[in-house]
């Protein structure tokens, strides 16, 4: 996960963190990746 982003207690809070297209793309990819892994794990 990108260092600036913390997902805790089901909350993603990016307040006062500077983000750009690269960091959001990295964060989006991480979320997507982990979600698919979790879904795979649940379905097994």
CB of 23 to another protein, least distance (A): 8
Q: What are phi and psi of 24, to 5 degrees?
A: -70, -35
Q: Is 18 in the site for another protein (CB under 8 A)?
A: yes
Residues contacting residue 14 through CB under 8 Å, at least 6 positions apart: 4, 5
Helix (H) or strand (E) holding 8, with range, is strand 7-8
Count the residues of the shown chain that bind another protein, applying the rule CB under 8 A: 27
Residue 43 interacting with another protein (CB under 8 A): no
Site residues for another protein per CB under 8 A: 7-21, 24-25, 27-28, 31-35, 37-38, 41
């Amino acid at each position: 996960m990108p260092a600036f982003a913390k997902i805790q207690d089901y909350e993603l809070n990016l307040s006062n963190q500077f983000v750009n297209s690269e960091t959001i793309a990295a964060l989006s990819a991480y979320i997507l990746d982990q979600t698919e892994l979790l879904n795979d794990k649940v379905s097994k």
